[in-house]
C-alpha cells in the first residue's frame, strides 16, 4: 500500500491519521472545510493528533470543534 501523501491526496473524514501524518496546507484546507474559518493549529492539538492513538481525520475535526464549545 502506498503511503498517504498529506500534501496532495484527497482527505475525507474516513482518512486515517498515519504515523507519517503532516500538518500540511491540504490538511488545513480540509479542517477549515469541516470546522469553519476559525480553525487553527496549536501545539497541544498538533501533539494530540500525532499521539499514536488510532483516529481518523473526522475524529480530528470533531475534537477541534468540541474543544471550542
Mean pLDDT of the chain: 96
pTM of the model: 0.93
Cα–Cα separations (whole angstroms), residue 36 to 4, 29, 54, 61 = 24, 10, 24, 10
Q: Per-residue pLDDT for 63 more than 90?
A: yes
Closest by alpha carbon to 27, among 53, 50, 51? 50
- Output the pLDDT for position 34: 98
Model confidence over 22-42: pLDDT tens digits? Answer: 999 999 999 999 999 999 999
Instruction: Decide if 11 contacts 56 (C-beta within 8 A).
Output: no
Closest by alpha carbon to 11, among 32, 26, 24? 26
Q: What is the spatial distance between Cα 18 and Cα 62, in angstroms, rounded to a whole number? A: 17
Q: Per-residue pLDDT for 58 more than 90?
A: yes
Q: Per-residue pLDDT for 68 more than 90?
A: no
Amino acid at each position: 500500500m502506498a503511503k498517504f501523501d498529506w500534501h496532495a491526496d484527497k482527505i475525507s473524514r474516513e482518512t486515517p491519521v498515519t504515523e507519517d501524518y503532516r500538518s500540511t496546507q491540504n490538511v488545513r484546507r480540509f479542517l477549515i472545510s469541516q470546522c469553519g474559518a476559525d480553525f487553527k493549529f496549536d501545539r497541544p492539538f498538533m501533539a494530540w493528533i500525532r499521539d499514536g492513538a488510532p483516529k481518523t481525520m473526522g475524529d480530528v475535526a470533531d475534537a477541534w470543534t468540541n474543544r471550542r464549545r
